[in-house]
Amino acid sequence: MPMKYENVCLEVFACTVPEEVVTSAAIEARLAPLYSRLRLPEGRLELMTGIAQRRFWPPGMLPSEKSVQTAEKAIRLASLDKGHIGALVHGSVCRDYLEPATASGVHHGLGLSRECMVYDVSNACLGLLNGVVQIANMIELGQIRAGVAVGTESSRSLVETTIRQLNADLSLTRKTIKQAVASLTIGSGSAAILLTDRELSRTGNRLVGGLARANSDFCHLCRSDQQDAAGADMKPLMYTDSETLMREGVRTARLAFPEFLDTVGWDAGDVDKTFCHQVGRAHHRLLFETLDLNRAIDYSTVEFLGNTGSVALPMTAALGIESGHVNNSDHLALLGIGSGINVVMLGVDWQCSLVEKVI
């Protein structure tokens, strides 16, 4: 599905990074019973994924707590009157409860108006980008003047539950543990994306358009064990065919990319900078080789943040912009690929960066 915009600006990316650092070496130390039983070499996890560390929130923290903090930061950076915000979308996999929507608690914490539309979106690693599209559509239609897509992912429970399961299941082999490797790469983080109409914008960072494509033939490649888990006490497990998911996800991106370029009116050589979903070193290399893009135009955080799910791309954008990766007048491509398989690609004519040092 192609999308084009004339009146929408992507004003701010903001993020909050957890303080607690968890190295791949530390995870392997906790997996000593498994490693000993299967005679696995130390350093295997980082070698396979390129991920040296990821971060955790404190135990018991609810996603809404950090989502309020991150959305508040985005609003502050934009110097935007909260009365202009007409939509708040909470797009992370993690949420406080099955109901009400986590967005309701974030709306309350931010003190937004009663006229603001509030809801959650769930779509694996693409929830926040889907939220951006929905907010952009509302702005383009003249229904609202500004909106925020925000989310917070918390990986502690998934990683710790996976470690316990791997150590306890004596039937596992070197082959069968592969479905659990992706779960050990997951990190925590929080991100917000604030959009406005062109008249409210301080930056002129125009969202030109984008493309969404689904390939649900492969919806079974990454799934959770507990479909109804939510909140601070959740104990999830994930089963992921990482190799097939990577291959088919990149193949779907390859099919989508030419149509994306046509929609935004660019050639591949017009793409100055990219921010992508952060999975691992092999995925990054294959994606850029397949799309015939120079990897130097990309900014990567997977090495020190791991895969932070739906907030991975916007967190990376916030950190990359803060570091000076994006220049004024750059054509910026946001390349999102999520399990399902779904792809969302968005193009932005970047003019000005509103930043606040994060880490």
Catalytic residues: 99, 125
Closest CA to 130 of 101, 96, 89: 89
Q: What is the dihedral of CA 359, 232, 102, 136, to 10 degrees?
A: 40
Q: What is the dihedral of CA 246, 251, 254, 257, to 10 degrees?
A: -70
Residues listed for the chain? 359
